[in-house]
Amino acid sequence: MLGIASATAALWTLALAGCGTAINSPSSSPSGTIQPQSQPTTGPVLGYVWDTTSQGLRPVQGLPGASILGTATISGSGRSSSFIATASSAVSGMALFLDANGGVFQAPLSGGAITQVASIPGASALVLSNAGGYSLITGANASGANIVAIISGLPQSPAIRNLNTSGLATIAGGAASDTGTVALAVSASQGGASIVAFAAQGPATQIATAQSFGGMQFLPGSDELVVADGTTGALTAISHVNTTPASATLSPAGAIASPLALDITPNGRWVVAANHAGDVLRIDLTGAVAATKSHCSCAPSQVLAMRGSTSGTTVRLVTTGGGPLWIVDAGSPGPRVLFVPAGANSSGPTLVAGSKT
């Protein structure tokens, strides 16, 4: 997809197996309802953010440089168990929620009844594929063992498959593709990190290593993965993850110091990586524009694509402990780092770690 030169990566297979359980009859939540906004959002929407203070999913309305944080279209207030992570996709028109008890729920972005799609006790984080068909849920059980599950068939026919990860060490992060492939960053026993991919069916395969994990994401509609090394700052693209993986350098070591997160814009063109110092690196996957750096007066902990109804070139920077909303307009010549104000009579959101909207 990127014209990556053929260079077959060395692979080794782990003896891991999964089991599947179909969820045929999603049930309404007994602990509350998601309430639609009385006046649905109209006009362009860059994406949605989760406000933990008000327990609401709020649209970012407008265009990059002329946007504002709107009133919640979905409210989870009044539930017995708060939502701790969220994700959404404008392609599917649905939002996914994880609560503190491990319940996984979904609802239309426009608002509507909450529907439970899975129960995964111990789950603490979720990610969603760009088109919203697959989700990766991770966490740990009471004994500290990894919990990893894939939910496929979203939003109409969700089915859960639990992965056997007993042979893996601590999971540092994960990503889900639109093809059903998921990737995990696993702490290596001798130091560093291993990137392990699970196809829709079959065992896992190690596809890359890094001195430390600095973020990863799949290209929309593809099983091509971009990985950042948190120590060297190098960014690598791995194509054909499920067949004959091949690696190519997108950005050499030192391009950004100590990256800790990255994402890819919904239009599939721009990779945006950031570090805790506020440095932001943009890479053009078409190769037409040289890598460009900018800076945010913030301390990012996550980079998350804004999957709304417009633009397709915007990501947001999530700061540790929440705070103001910062976005990166990757499609501008700059790129631009912008602040999005809250609407009138509304406080800014406190965004949860692990959320992806």
Q: Hey, what domains does the chain have and what are their CATH numbers?
A: 15-28+43-167+225-233+254-340 (2.130.10)
What pLDDT, on the 0 to 100 scale, is given for residue 246?
A: 95
What pLDDT, on the 0 to 100 scale, is given for residue 334?
A: 85
What pLDDT, on the 0 to 100 scale, is given for residue 40?
A: 52
How many Cβ atoms are within 10 Å of 209's Cβ, its own excluded? 14
Nearest CA to 1 out of 331, 287, 217, 296 is that of: 287
Hey, what amino acid is at 328?
Answer: V
CB contact at 8 A, 299 and 276: yes
Mean pLDDT within 51-63: 91
How many Cβ atoms are within 10 Å of 130's Cβ, its own excluded? 26
Identify which has the larger pLDDT, 25 or 317. 317
200 pLDDT above the threshold of 80 = no
CA dihedral 233→283→279→255, nearest 10 degrees, is: 30
Nearest CA to 226 out of 305, 341, 296, 120 is that of: 305
- pLDDT, tens only, 109-136: 988 888 999 999 999 999 999 999 999 9
Mean pLDDT within 34-59: 75
What pLDDT, on the 0 to 100 scale, is given for residue 347?
A: 53
Look up residue 105 and give its two tokens.
Answer: 């729920």
How many Cβ atoms are within 10 Å of 28's Cβ, its own excluded? 11
Compute the residue count for the chain: 357
34 pLDDT above the threshold of 80 = no
Whole-number Å distance between alpha carbons of 48 and 161: 27
Pairing assessment for the beta strands 182-187 and 325-329 based on DSSP bridges: unpaired
Residue tagged 């596809």 (tokens): 207
Whole-number Å distance between alpha carbons of 36 and 50: 15
Residue 243, CA distances (Å) to 7, 8, 60 in order: 13, 10, 38
Residue tagged 């045929």 (tokens): 24
29 pLDDT above the threshold of 80 = no
Q: Which of 168-172, 191-195, 200-204 shows the lowest per-residue confidence on average (mean pLDDT)?
A: 200-204
Residue 22, CA distances (Å) to 26, 71, 159 in order: 10, 35, 4
Helices and strands of the chain, counted as H and E runs = 0, 32
Whole-number Å distance between alpha carbons of 325 and 164: 37
Nearest CA to 300 out of 316, 276, 321 is that of: 276
Mean pLDDT within 236-263: 95
CB contact at 8 A, 83 and 55: yes
Query: What value does the mean pLDDT of the chain take?
Result: 84
Whole-number Å distance between alpha carbons of 332 and 143: 48
6 pLDDT above the threshold of 60 = no
354 pLDDT above the threshold of 80 = no
- pLDDT, tens only, 12-25: 333 233 333 333 33
